[in-house]
Amino acid sequence: MYPSFLLLFRKSYWRMLLRKATWAEAWQSVTRVHKDRRARQHVWRVVMLALIPMLALAYAAWLIGSGAWIILPFLVPLLWWRSRQAKADNQPLHIAPQPDPVHRVLTDTEKLSLRRYFADLALLYAGMVARAGSEGFLKEKVLPKGAEVTSRRKYMELMKSAGIWDRMASVDREAMMMADGHWDWARINQVALALEPLRLLRWLLQIDYYLPLVGQQLKGDYAIAYTLLPAVDKLLAGTELADIESVRMGREAADVFFQRCLAEGISRGYYETTDDAARAWAKSVAGSLGGRQHEDFVLGGKLVSEASEDEVMWATSLSRRRAGFLGLVAEVMESGKVPEGNFFAVCLEEASS
């Protein structure tokens, strides 16, 4: 009971409990509990997570009713001391020289400079994505007479005030300077793809505490850009940054997901290949996992082997982009240096024609 109560005093516990996506992911698992043991385990963990505050209140009520609360002023310091002592006892005693860590450990100076770089990059992506959302809205909606659209001016001023305007790729600056309502659908859709790197940057900067698997985040949400822009000062002044090992684990997880979806796509004939070995590998992977409710990867509420062509191809593309972006992030963090020159372009050159 005591270790569970300690969670109530951890910021990470409340961030996970109050995270909207935690409950959306739990609901996806609820739809699969009758056929997937992984879903049952996930739902059970979420239920236990939610029960801790209620159990704590019930226990506190029992203490008050029984009169045992009188010993709390003496018991709490004792438990705190025992917790610290247990942590100290678990620390290994290093006598011989230790090998260098597998992953590079950033110095405080490197961490702060890299965090500012990634924060600037997140601001760039957020501004471009928000503009794409505005342009998409203007394509689909008819504004009331006399209404004025200010997205262009607002986001340009934001980029300039944050000091990133001159570091943007020329194609991005040109896109941002275009009059409101003048983006075509090709540009809107292409910039909307930046939702994935923006989502990853939010996690890297620990704005979002947890990064789910690709199969749990198939849909993009413009809100991740809109909610970031009003808090620019807080974004740029932050100090938290995910460690290199977590970034590499995220990249590896995305790459494994990509390999599974690619194998499914090749085995179904969505992707052409003249490599017999690649076809044999794809057939083997798809055949060994297809229909296995407890083992195959999940896209939303379906197995990869049960998903439609559009779902498989989208998950393949999304996981490839996630693995690629996190791979670039890991390289930058391993170097410990902020990349020189301008940011790479969010818009593709052909989208500007």
The amino acid sitting at 29 is: S
CA distance 27 to 208: 20
309-318 average pLDDT score: 94
Q: What angle do CA 231, 236, 240 make, to 5 degrees?
A: 105
List all residues 6 or more positions away from 275 whose beta carbon is below 8 Å from its beta carbon. Answer: none
Question: Is the domain of 232 the same as that of 261?
Answer: no
pTM, two decimals, is 0.78
Select from 239, 273, 295 the last residue of a domain. 239
Q: Count the neighbouring beta carbons within 10 Å of the beta carbon of residue 195.
A: 22
Give the range of the structural domain holding residue 134, as residue numbers without chain letter: 108-239
Question: Is the domain of 154 the same as that of 233?
Answer: yes
CB 270 within 8 A of CB 312: yes
**pLDDT tens track for 125-162:** 999 999 999 999 988 876 666 566 778 899 999 999 99
pLDDT at 217 over 50: yes
CB 195 within 8 A of CB 174: no
Q: Does residue 156 sit within a domain?
A: yes
300-304 average pLDDT score: 87
Burial class (CB in 10 A: 0-12, 13-18, 19+), 86: exposed
CA distance 86 to 175: 57
Select from 209, 239, 269 the last residue of a domain. 239
Question: Is the domain of 218 the same as that of 256?
Answer: no
- pLDDT (0 to 100) of residue 38: 79
pLDDT at 309 over 70: yes
Domain count, the chain: 3
53-70 average pLDDT score: 67
